[in-house]
Structures are given as structure tokens and as C-alpha cells.
A and B are shown apart, each in its own frame.
Chain A
Amino acid sequence: MPSDSVLRLVWIYPDLLSTYGDQGNVLVLEQRARRRGIAVETVHVRSADPVPEQGDVYLIGGGEDRPQILAAERLRRDGGLHRAVARGAALLAVCAGYQIMGSTFGGEEGQPVDGIGLLDIASGRGAARAVGELVAEADPALGVPTLTGFENHMGVTRLGPGVRPLSRTVVGTGNGDGTEGCYAGRIVGTYLHGPALARNPGLADLLLTWAVGAQLPPTDDTWFERLRQERLTAVRPA
């Protein structure tokens, strides 16, 4: 259970990496925790400020090339996220934020840029932009239903032995090798950009379960489920 029984969400660098409705992930976690009676405090960390170490769930979103490079530099220099992850905090890294977690990613001209090394992945630039709806079957070990969302990236990500694929793609590109995203320990990375948790409340609950250390009671998923079904029906091959 989180210290002092308040769940601390830490949103990293919304001033650099939040161009695709990334705030949605913060709002969905807040809502799903609160509806289960868990008090929540959210910290917004601007890129000029240090990343606090005592958070329970960290979130980092997507963005353009230049902010992505700046974010990687600052996170490496700051070290707060590394220390938080070392003490067992959960982390959801989306799109550009996902690539940053690896050893390297593609910069503005495709040149390799150093990542921050929290995930055993290496990313580069693909030939074409992957834009569109994505459907993927999550690793059964995670107990998360089919993943649905939208991707918009030029990245190709190679997974090393230190991570497991988050899912296998049914529709869409993901990592580029038939898998989508990855996880290791309590870190989840994904190309499902922007408000990925709004389409995947099961993934939101996985992060919350890791943070709280206990199974969560069910909550009213009416609107989440209606949207999921509508999207899966529209996108999944018949």
C-alpha cells in the first residue's frame, strides 16, 4: 500500500510530452482510484523541475522529436525517475516516452539519440509513419483484455531479453515485429498513444494493482465498455 494511504500519481513533463491527449491517462487513473475510495494526489512535473522519488505511478507521454530529445536529456540528468523505479514505483510510458525508456531512439533526422535505459529496448526510425487504430492481444500473464487504441509514430522498436512483449498485434504496427509495447517489472511501455488507458481500463487497473499491492474491487465500466466494444467492432477484421 502506498505510504500515508494517498496514491501519488506523477505526470512527467506535460510541458514537453503531452501532445496527444496524454492527460487522459492521468484522469482515468485518478477516476478509477477515487471510485474505489482511494485518495489520489497528482503531481505535474515541469521539465525544469526535479522528478519526485516518492510517487506510486509515473506517467510519461508522447510528443514531437525535439521535446523527446530534451526530455531524455533532462530525465537522465535528473535521475529521479530512475530512483523511483528502483524503489518499485509503477511507470506507464507512451509513444515518445516509451522510446525514451530504451537504450537509444531515432532523433529529428533519424540519428541515434541516447535513451535513459530503464527498459531493454532499442528504437530507430522506420520507413513509414504508422498511423491508425491498433488492436493487440495482451500477454495472458497480465490478465488484461484485448488492447485497443490509436498509434501515430515512425518508430521501430527491438525488444531485448530483459523485457517481454506487452501484446501481439492483430491490427496495426506497434513495435514493428508483430508485437506491441513491452513490460518489465512494473514498467509498461506502449505505442498506444495519448489516452491509452481510456480505451484500456484493464491496463489502468493493472498499474493501480501494482501500486496498491492488492486486488481492486470492480467499478462501473459502462462507458469504458461501450466505447471498447464499438471500437473493436469497427476495427477488428471480421
Chain B
Amino acid sequence: MTQLPLRAQLASALGRTAATLSRATGRGDGSVIGGRVGLALEPDLLRKLARDRRLALVSATNGKTTTTRLITSALQELGDVATNAFGANMPAGHVSALSSAKDAPYGVLEVDEKYLPEVIETTGAGVVVLMNLSRDQMDRAAEIWLLAQKWRRALVARNTHVIANADDPLVAWGASTAARVTWVSVGQPWKEDSWCCPECGGPLDRGGMDYVPPGGHAPGVAVRQADGSVPAAPGSPAGPGGPGGGLAENDWACRECSFRRPAPSWFLDGDTVVDPRGQRWPLDIRLPGRANRANAVVALATAEAFGLPVQRALPRLAEVTSVAGRYTTVEREGRQARLLLAKNPAGWLEAFDVLDPALPVILSVNAQGPDGRDTSWLWDVDYRVLRGRPVYVTGERRLDLALRLDVAEVPFQLTESFGHALAVQPQGKVDVIANYTAFQQIRSEFGRAV
């Protein structure tokens, strides 16, 4: 399809060779090393590879790999789609993805939040999908307000069509400089990074609730706000003039300036998506949990931006059963372990939502480079939901997690490895939540089936 200049063709071909070598020598899935070789030879390669394609860039703290996969699956209804399916979400990975599908008229690229402005600029992508922003790997990530500010600057004076979650105030702020935005309402369970207005710093009123302290207080400890009132439980209804200033659930507004939630045209309502025409569609998808229903709504809104109607996109979403090992089950000696990935507090909250309350759960936490070397985030997760079921703790930083659970008064058993934790289970099913490298370790030991 695209006729690349000779130099770019050579760079692209070299990149593919390196990727093949990397796969053949077992050094990885090849997607990053291939792109790096290509970029070194031709800095404009990404620009050239992106030209003449219809591209969607997908960015968020959580869910970008899964949503990229869902959008890709939907757009395959229209034609071939180039995508970075292995989650190599920086420019080198984008080069690799696009050059390995040269003739695909469509591209869906997962983009690291920090690289998004650069990738928007380089690719000139027509569609940008923004879902959520929350604290993540704080010892190396950029501060999220600064990230959102960079998104704003990157979207100014462009012809980009943005699909964005209106329920996340920081995302709404980051997206609102774009000329055209399709706002979707898919909720924001994790609110600890958005109690303040991104525009002016004033307090945000949140629909359905007043300020709720990040959970985890010991039983018998009275928690009050400064005015003496007891904080409402999450999700408790807002009466008129009551908590949340009478705003509807998921709505939000600044108390001090005019910044408030933009009006969404797509909604997630339980197990149903409501489209801009008010039509309701049951979200019949294979991926479990609230977060994936939210991802599916975002994917449907994005598909429509490409001209693909819901009735054609929705069956395609149901074809996705697992994404890079997430939600797959590994088996050993009669024990079936379902693997859930959670990389940060918001991700743990979404993973708890997927857990089967009747099953034991194994938690595995590492603190290698990709995880963030700082385990402080454990204290932002409310583990009390795990009380009452058998909990097994493992991973390289299991003692950090053990103390966290001890203080939360969640009974647990410490085990020296995931293998041991699995071996002490009765035969049958068990759920597993692991952070990034802990998850990869389990996959490489127990099978990498995608």
C-alpha cells in the first residue's frame, strides 16, 4: 500500500530482521528490538509508516493493552489492522507494529502515557483514545497532572478526534483542548487522584458520594471529616443537597470554577452500553469484570468513529478471550489458577471486582524496575475486601504485602513462591493477582499461552 522511500524501506526491513533474530534467539517477542534498529536508521520512519493509514492511539494508566486489543478486533471487521499486540507501547514498538503490517489500512497503537504527545505529533493519528489517569509506579513515572497538561498541549490546534472518559476529571481536562471529543461515561472507581480540580485546584464535588477516605482503617477506628460528619460509604446514594452536592452518579463539578464533567454521549450502565442514540446493547463479552465492560464501551465508541456501527463491532469484541495472558488460566496437578494483572492501586481495585468471592486468592508482588522499586502503593490499596477467604502471599516483596495485610487485619499465609502457594491449594480453582514482573514470572513458569 504505502510506497516508502528507499532509505525508509531499508530501515524497516532491517528492523524486521532484528525482530526475527530476537524471537529466534529467545530474547523476547521481538517487537521492541525490531523497532529500535529501525528508528536508529530512519528517525522519520514512524511518520512515514503512519502516513496514509487511519490510526487510533490508545492511552491510559490502566486498560490500554486490553482496549487496544478490543478496538483492533472490532476494526478487523473493516480490514487489516496493524497493532502492537505485545504491549510494546513506545515509538520503537509502534515502528515495529506498523512495519510488520505494511499494507494494513488501519492501525491501533497502544501508547505509553508519557510518549503520547510525541506519537500524536509524529503519526498525526486521526483518533486518540484516552481512558484514565492515576498514580502508577511513582518512582519513575511523570506526575500525572503534568502528563495531562502535556496531552492538552499536544491536542491543541489539531484535527484529532478524541474518544475520552468524561468520568475521570484529569482525563477530561487532558482531552478538553481537542477540537472534537466524543465523551464516554464509563465510571471511575479509583478517585484518590481526583479530589481536586485539575484546572484551579479547588475541591471537586463527586456525584453519589462525599469525600471518602481511601479505605483501610482498623475496625473500631472512627473516621470523621473535619466538619464532624461521617464519610459516606462508596456508592451510597446522594440525596438532594446531600453528599456530592446532589450530583448524579459519576458526575463531578468543581466547587470553585466552571470546570465540570462534559456531557457524555455513550454510557456504561451495568452490563449494558447505551449508544448516542439512546439504544441499549447488552455487553456480551468474554473478558470479566467492570473494567472490561468499560473498555468495551470505549472500543465501541472508537469503532463508530471509524464508521463501524455497534451491531457489527460488538460481536467482534466477544471474540477476545484473553489479552497477553491476562485472565488466562494455568493448570498444574489439578489446580486451575486464573491470572489477573494489577500494576497499581486503581488496577487492584478493578482486579478485586473480578475475583470469585468463593475462591482462595494468591497475591504476588515484586518491585523490579517495571513494577516500580517502591512498594508504598500497597498502602493505597484497600485489602479488607479479602477478609473471609483464604489469602496466600508470595512474590519478591511478600513481606511488604504481609505487613500491609497484618495492619489491615486480613488473615493470610506467607509462601515462598507461587509454585508453593499453588501446591498447598486443594484441587480446583484459585484466583491470582500479581503485579507486572510477578505476573510475567508466573506466565514463564506455567505457560505463556495467550
User: Is A bound to B?
Assistant: yes
B374 at the interface (CB under 8 A from A): yes
Residues of A within 8 A of B201 (CB): 66-67, 70
**B379 and A46: CB pair below 8 A?**
no
**B211 and A47: CB pair below 8 A?**
no
Q: Which of A45, A152, A195 contacts B138 (CB 8 A)?
A: A152
Beta-carbon contacts of B199-243 to A below 8 Å, as 1s and 0s? Answer: 001110000000101101110111111110001000000000000
**A20 and B406: CB pair below 8 A?**
no
**B224 and A23: CB pair below 8 A?**
no
B103 at the interface (CB under 8 A from A): no
Q: Which of B135, B213, B376 contacts A14 (CB 8 A)?
A: B213
B400 at the interface (CB under 8 A from A): yes
**B222 and A64: CB pair below 8 A?**
no
Residues of A within 8 A of B231 (CB): 44
**B402 and A223: CB pair below 8 A?**
yes
A86 at the interface (CB under 8 A from B): no
Q: Which of A23, A64, A193 contacts B214 (CB 8 A)?
A: A23
B446 at the interface (CB under 8 A from A): no
B316 at the interface (CB under 8 A from A): no
A194 at the interface (CB under 8 A from B): yes
B450 at the interface (CB under 8 A from A): no
Of A23, A66, A194, most buried by chain B (CB within 10 Å of CB) is A23
B373 at the interface (CB under 8 A from A): yes
Of A24, A34, A230, most buried by chain B (CB within 10 Å of CB) is A24
**B224 and A194: CB pair below 8 A?**
no
**A16 and B196: CB pair below 8 A?**
yes
A30 to B402, CA, bound (A): 18
Given A42-B221, A42-B222, are A47 and B143 neighbors across the interface (CB < 8 Å)? Answer: no
Interface size on B, residues (CB 8 A): 47
Can you name the residue of chain A whose Cβ is closest to the Cβ of B134? A19
A150 at the interface (CB under 8 A from B): yes
**A84 → chain B closest CB, angstroms:** 12
Number of interchain pairs (Cβ within 8 Å): 146
Can you name the residue of chain B whose Cβ is closest to the Cβ of A52? B226
Residues of B within 8 A of A194 (CB): 374, 376, 379
Residues of B within 8 A of A40 (CB): 218, 220-222
**A199 → chain B closest CB, angstroms:** 9
Can you name the residue of chain B whose Cβ is closest to the Cβ of A51? B226
A51 to B145, CA, bound (A): 26
A141 to B157, CA, bound (A): 61
**B374 and A20: CB pair below 8 A?**
yes
**B226 and A46: CB pair below 8 A?**
yes
**A43 and B224: CB pair below 8 A?**
yes
**B203 and A15: CB pair below 8 A?**
yes
Can you name the residue of chain A whose Cβ is closest to the Cβ of B345? A21
A12-39 contacts to B, CB under 8 A, are 14-16, 18-24, 26-28, 30-31, 34, 39
**B85 → chain A closest CB, angstroms:** 32
Interface size on A, residues (CB 8 A): 51
Residues of A within 8 A of B225 (CB): 43-46, 49
B115 at the interface (CB under 8 A from A): no
**A28 → chain B closest CB, angstroms:** 6
**A195 and B379: CB pair below 8 A?**
yes
B271 at the interface (CB under 8 A from A): no
**B221 → chain A closest CB, angstroms:** 5
Can you name the residue of chain A whose Cβ is closest to the Cβ of B135? A19
A51 to B202, CA, bound (A): 16
Residues of A within 8 A of B407 (CB): 24, 27-28, 31, 198
Given A44-B211, A49-B225, are A67 and B138 neighbors across the interface (CB < 8 Å)? Answer: no
Of B211, B213, B220, B231, most buried by chain A (CB within 10 Å of CB) is B213
Can you name the residue of chain B whose Cβ is closest to the Cβ of A49? B226
**A44 and B402: CB pair below 8 A?**
no
Residues of B within 8 A of A2 (CB): none
**A227 and B221: CB pair below 8 A?**
no
B403 at the interface (CB under 8 A from A): yes
Residues of A within 8 A of B359 (CB): none
Can you name the residue of chain B whose Cβ is closest to the Cβ of A63? B143
Residues of A within 8 A of B380 (CB): 18, 21, 23
**A24 and B224: CB pair below 8 A?**
no
Given contacts A19-B138, A64-B144, A226-B403, 17 further A-B contacts (CB under 8 A): A14-B214, A15-B211, A21-B377, A23-B214, A24-B376, A27-B218, A34-B221, A39-B220, A43-B225, A44-B213, A44-B223, A46-B225, A64-B145, A131-B140, A152-B139, A223-B402, A226-B402
Q: Can you list 25 A-B pairs, Cβ within 8 angstroms, ordered by A?
A: A14-B192, A19-B135, A21-B379, A21-B380, A24-B378, A24-B407, A26-B217, A31-B218, A40-B218, A42-B221, A43-B224, A43-B225, A49-B226, A49-B227, A64-B146, A66-B145, A67-B196, A67-B201, A131-B373, A132-B139, A133-B373, A150-B375, A150-B376, A223-B403, A226-B399
